[in-house]
Chains A and B, each alone.
Chain A
Amino acid sequence: MKNKSLSFWLFLTPTLVALALVVFIPMLEGLFYSFTDWDGLSFTKVVGFKNYMALLQDKAFGNAFWFTVAFVIVTVILLNVIGLGLALLVTQKFKGNNFLRAIFFMPNMIGGLILGFIWQFIFTQGFSALGSALHMTVFQNWLTNSLTGFWGLVIVTVWQMSGYIMIIYIAYLQNIPSEVIEAAEIDGASAWQRFTRITFPMIAPAFTVCMFLTLSNGFKIYDQNLSLTNGGPYNSTQMLAMDIVNTAYNSSDFALAEAKAMVFFLIVAAISLVQVFYNRKREGDF
């Protein structure tokens, strides 16, 4: 038994060391700095909760927070609906469904930054060319105000992540025993009833996973934000992660940025934990 524990810990040590050096220790350091007046190089005094009080009054942080919340709500719904829809589509038996799976997953392989730039080109040059050809003003001036910036970000994120969510739903859909579906069909259940009473509850674990992924990913979006709108115009499409980075680098207020980062961590952790807990409970009783 003693030998087993030793090799167990030996295997674990490299990963633990790496995690500690790259995640845990910097987090603790950051937590400490958030209580000082650190400017990125050194600090002169401990200022207690001053930074946390400041961020509560920071309008930019508040705007970024609500913008991000709206974004998360919209993308979680869209991603799960579209992801599940695509998964249901490609698990039907028809020729080319494997090919479709690959196609739908491909956007996910492009990095967020490059995707943002590609879509920026589409939204600005492509859409305005389309708009002037069709004489429809709805296609003009995309990304020049916070409304089109918001929907632009939603479109890019949903387009990129749907394939990934689809794959997860496919995995769970394929685990549903076909006998149960057939039995229901024989018993006269309609397609809608089969879906809502059998398929849907049996992929409940998939929901837990997918909601968690889309929730936490939505809060942490930065690459697409940077390349698509860069927070503009006038910081109206600035999401939480970007606000924190800009506070640190543009305004050189590292201590405040650390405080914001701590609050950000607490928010995302709290929401994710609540969601997983709630979903797990629902998984348990059906």
Chain B
Amino acid sequence: MKKMWKKLGLVSLLAGVTLTLAACGSKSADGGNVKITILQGKVESNKQFKAIAKKYEKAHPNVKIEITSIGGGTQYNPVLKTRISSGNAPTIFSLDGPASVKQFKNYTADLTDTKAAKAAIPSTLDTVKSQGKVYGLPFNIEGYGFVYNKAVFEKAGIDPKSLTTYDKLEAAVKTLNEQKEQLGIKGVFALPGKESWILSDHLLNVYLSKEFDGNSQKLYTSKKMKFENNAEMKQMIDLQKEYSVQPVMQMDYAGQVNQNFAQGKVAMIQQGDWIYETVNQIDAKFAQDGIGMIPMPVKEQQGKMPVGTSIYWAVNKRKSTDEQKAAKDFLNWLYTSKEGKKDVVEKLHFVPAYKGYGDVKMPDALTQSVYDYSQKKATFGWVFPGYTGTSWDPDVAQPNLQKYLSGDQDWQKTVSNMKDGWTKQQTK
């Protein structure tokens, strides 16, 4: 009897220890072939990236590419940190601003001498430069403003391109609001109060950009922000809030884009060219023919659209030289080879952040408008990557702006909290 228990005990001990050890993975080497893993943060382009990688693998049979995309509610940086800490770091990963360049500086390879870096539009590289070296390659350039419903504006007899000043915009909004019923819309705007980043990143950027010359590095290294035109921002928030589908504080991104805009229930929304895919999935015809984008009217940036890059490719310098070379080759191919360039524009709907694309015809109205404004050089830069990734964004800017939006705090206090919070963080 005792002998049986002893055997059972030994067996369970062995099983337990084996199971525990099996949980630790094992690595295997491959002779001649290279496998690169990509962990990227633009989840909307997941399918397209995988298709492009398959094509690349066919043309380069000794390279295998494995792509994982993170986004839509899951934060990117924690997943990346977990992958790195568990010994499963990707070959190519994503950076979103100077803060992440600093955080991952032990992993970012120097990309200054790559073909892609040399072909990149110089201003797009400001965010990922450190001590004169380039550590990231831009995915694309994007722009945002008011994405509008062409049919609604036509019916109301307003030309969206004429709304170049705030007064003109306000007048148009009032007209649209009065004719709500005839136009078949629930409201003029759809302001998603739950998505605090729409106010703290996109809208705030419009009023901060000039102070920091459109350069996110300047904001990142600054000790204080003057934010002198904050009254204009208040005007814009109030306008959007008053004429939006209510209740504003209950609306999220899906409510704004999927429910309201894509189904034709509002005249315009503050968003960017990246919403094309979402609208396309709900109403492909509407996405193709029925929408356009205009910049938000700002006094010091009249007629200009905020254009910038939100995400960059980085190569892991702790991987083998072969893997790093394969990674750089892939990125170079994607952005500078004939095949790759075609896919960047047509498959990914990316407005190119690189030179050498000739005259581009973008496949949809939103990216086309971003391209037009950047060709005309009627743009100003994104400075908000200088504070996303620092605690000021989620701990100071977002809660204070949300508090103002829900009517629980006045504007003066909101502005002073934000300015003080920035100084406090930057002088720590």
Whether A252 lies near B12 (C-beta < 8 A) is: no
Whether A40 lies near B12 (C-beta < 8 A) is: no
A-side contacts of B81, CB under 8 Å: 40-41
Give A144 to B251 CA distance when docked, in angstroms. 10
Whether A10 lies near B247 (C-beta < 8 A) is: no
Q: Smallest CB-CB separation from B79: which chain A residue?
A: A249
Partner of B16, one of A14, A41, A143, A233: A14
Interface residues of A in 241-258 (CB under 8 A from B): 246, 248-253
Query: Which of B1-9, B35-43, B45-53 is near enough to bind chain A?
Result: B1-9
**Contact flag A249-B2 (CB < 8 Å), given A40-B81, A140-B247, A232-B402:** no
Q: How close is B81's CB to chain A, nearest CB, in angstroms?
A: 4
Q: Smallest CB-CB separation from B247: which chain A residue?
A: A141
B-side contacts of A234, CB under 8 Å: 196, 398-400, 402-403, 406, 408
A49-65 near B? 1/0 per residue, CB < 8 Å: 00000000000100000
Q: Smallest CB-CB separation from A229: which chain B residue?
A: B194
B-side contacts of A17, CB under 8 Å: 16-17, 20
Whether A251 lies near B85 (C-beta < 8 A) is: no
Say whether A91 faces chain B, with CB atoms less than 8 Å apart: no
Whether B391 lies near A251 (C-beta < 8 A) is: yes
Say whether B13 faces chain A, with CB atoms less than 8 Å apart: yes
The range of chain B's interface size is 35 or more
Q: Which applies to chain B's interface (DSSP): helix, strand, loop or mixed?
A: helix
Give A15 to B103 CA distance when docked, in angstroms. 37
**Contact flag A10-B20 (CB < 8 Å), given A233-B249, A246-B394:** no
Whether A235 lies near B5 (C-beta < 8 A) is: no
Say whether A145 faces chain B, with CB atoms less than 8 Å apart: yes
A-side contacts of B17, CB under 8 Å: 13-14, 17
Say whether B15 faces chain A, with CB atoms less than 8 Å apart: yes
**Contact flag A3-B6 (CB < 8 Å), given A14-B15, A249-B77, A250-B391:** yes
B-side contacts of A14, CB under 8 Å: 12-13, 15-17, 19-20
**Contact flag A18-B406 (CB < 8 Å), given A3-B6, A41-B81, A144-B250:** no
Whether A18 lies near B103 (C-beta < 8 A) is: no
Say whether A11 faces chain B, with CB atoms less than 8 Å apart: yes
Whether A233 lies near B75 (C-beta < 8 A) is: no
Give A234 to B193 CA distance when docked, in angstroms. 10
The range of chain A's interface size is 35 or more
Q: Smallest CB-CB separation from A145: which chain B residue?
A: B406
Say whether B84 faces chain A, with CB atoms less than 8 Å apart: yes
Give A141 to B106 CA distance when docked, in angstroms. 47
Say whether A283 faces chain B, with CB atoms less than 8 Å apart: no
B-side contacts of A128, CB under 8 Å: 247, 250
Whether B249 lies near A141 (C-beta < 8 A) is: yes
Partner of A10, one of B10, B78, B406: B10
Whether B13 lies near A13 (C-beta < 8 A) is: yes
Say whether B363 faces chain A, with CB atoms less than 8 Å apart: no
Give A233 to B391 CA distance when docked, in angstroms. 18
Give A228 to B196 CA distance when docked, in angstroms. 16
Whether A7 lies near B9 (C-beta < 8 A) is: yes
Whether A7 lies near B6 (C-beta < 8 A) is: yes
A-side contacts of B75, CB under 8 Å: 249-250
**Contact flag A10-B13 (CB < 8 Å), given A18-B20, A252-B77:** yes
Q: How close is A194's CB to chain B, nearest CB, in angstroms?
A: 49
Whether B406 lies near A41 (C-beta < 8 A) is: no
A259-281 near B? 1/0 per residue, CB < 8 Å: 00000000000000000000000
**Contact flag A233-B103 (CB < 8 Å), given A7-B9, A10-B9:** no
Whether A233 lies near B406 (C-beta < 8 A) is: yes
Q: Smallest CB-CB separation from A249: which chain B residue?
A: B78
Give A232 to B8 CA distance when docked, in angstroms. 53
Q: Smallest CB-CB separation from A10: which chain B residue?
A: B9
Say whether A70 faces chain B, with CB atoms less than 8 Å apart: no
Most B Cβ at <10 Å: residue of A7, A145, A234: A234
Q: How close is B251's CB to chain A, nearest CB, in angstroms?
A: 9
**A and B contact pairs by CB, cutoff 8 A, 10 listed:** A7-B8, A11-B12, A40-B78, A128-B250, A144-B250, A233-B406, A234-B402, A250-B391, A251-B394, A252-B99
